[in-house]
Amino acid sequence: MTVRIVMIAVAVASLLLTYGLRRYALARSLMDVPNARSSHSVPTPRGGGVAIVVSFLVALPVLAVMDVLPWAAAWTLQGAGALVALVGFWDDHGHIPARWRLLAHFSGAAWALVWLGGAPPLDLFGTTFDLGWLGAGFAAVYLVWLLNLYNFMDGIDGIASIEAVCVCVGGAILYALIGKPSLAVVPLLLAAAVAGFLYWNFPPARIFMGDAGSGFLGIVLGILSLQAGWVAPELFWCWVILLGVFVTDATFTLIRRLLRGDKVYEAHRSHAYQYASRLFGRHLPVTLAVAAINVVWLLPIALWVGIGGLDGVTGVAMAYVPLVALAARFRAGALESAEG
């Protein structure tokens, strides 16, 4: 069995599993019903992200048996990803108090960091620092923030799926460009799993991802970025650049709401992408704009950093400044009553 066949099988499995999950959700009335905090107007089945989780995690040991993927890398992704997805699935079907969700999220991050051997060295303006236990603490917070921001950003049709595909394909191109094509297998595998789901999630969505899928994608993408840092410190910054759309919108929104004294754990519709979707009256233009920003702006900068033409921190700043300006332009974090 070749890697290409595995990837095709994963995409098909995700496609068919999502179909089955949609039928199951419709039969059991597992619907996301619109409310005042929703960005959609039609009751829609939820929980389709489980298809991404299952198809991706089942394929990892297959790649390990084929000697395409080290077992340590497979256990890293399986343990952390499965724990976060399980908690998200439980929360999708009921409710888990925030403190228990957070405990599970940090447990997943800790699992990943143990298998990774801690946080990778950090490259700052050409100087490499090994931060030891302090770095591991920062890395745990980084992973937990990524998985939660991915959940926050999964608010309109197709946006979380498109982001994951763009980031993963961008990472794969980066690895091919620097002469390490074997590292591209896992990002492409995740892209294949998401692509099968995206068929059903593309605007107008016929099923939503749910917390199980969004949290899973967030922590897996975070782990892939840390793994990249162990290959070469500057590659970590490349992944941070590729994740720029979600990082800037979610972080800008959170900071603005914190400064205003909002209860940040409460649901809201004040992310830039949510304001943009209401401005345009549809989800599709915003989702396609996210794809365009990834391809036209973020990918070239990430590749520039990856080939050594630009310092990582400088690359992040260059990539993020326009994105922060865009978030401000679309009122990220502003009071929803101020919309107009």
Q: pLDDT tens for residues 89-145? A: 998 887 788 889 999 999 999 999 999 999 999 999 888 889 889 999 999 999 999
**What is the DSSP code (8-state) at residue 2?**
-
What percentage of the chain carries pLDDT values higher than 90?
85
Please give the single-letter amino acid code of residue 140: A
Residue 295 carries which side chain, given as an amino acid letter?
V
Residue 237 · residue 157 · CB < 8 Å: no
Please tell me the total number of residues recorded for the chain in this structure.
340
Report in angstroms the alpha-carbon separations of 127 from 94, 235, 277: 48, 14, 42
In this prediction the pTM is 0.96
Grade residue 36 by pLDDT with cuts at 50, 70 and 90.
low
pLDDT the model gives residue 340: 44
In sequence order, the 6+-apart residues with CB closer than 8 A to the CB of 55 are: 10, 11, 13, 14, 17, 193, 196
- Burial readout 251-282 (b: 16 or more C-beta within 10 A, e: otherwise): bbbbebbeeeeeeeeeebbbbbbbbbbbeeee
Please answer whether residues 107 and 83 qualify as being in contact, where contact means their C-beta atoms are separated by less than 8 angstroms.
yes
Give residue 29's pLDDT band: very low, low, confident or very high (50, 70, 90): confident
Return the minimum-mean-pLDDT range out of 14-18, 81-85, 300-304, 335-339: 335-339
pLDDT tens digits for range 169-208: 999 999 999 999 999 999 999 999 999 999 999 999 999 9
**Neighbour-count burial of 203, counting CB atoms closer than 10 A to its CB (0-12 exposed, 13-18 middle, 19+ buried):** middle
**Complete DSSP assignment for 161-190:** HHHHHHHHHHHHHHHHHTT-GGGGHHHHHH
- Average pLDDT, stretch 153-165? 97
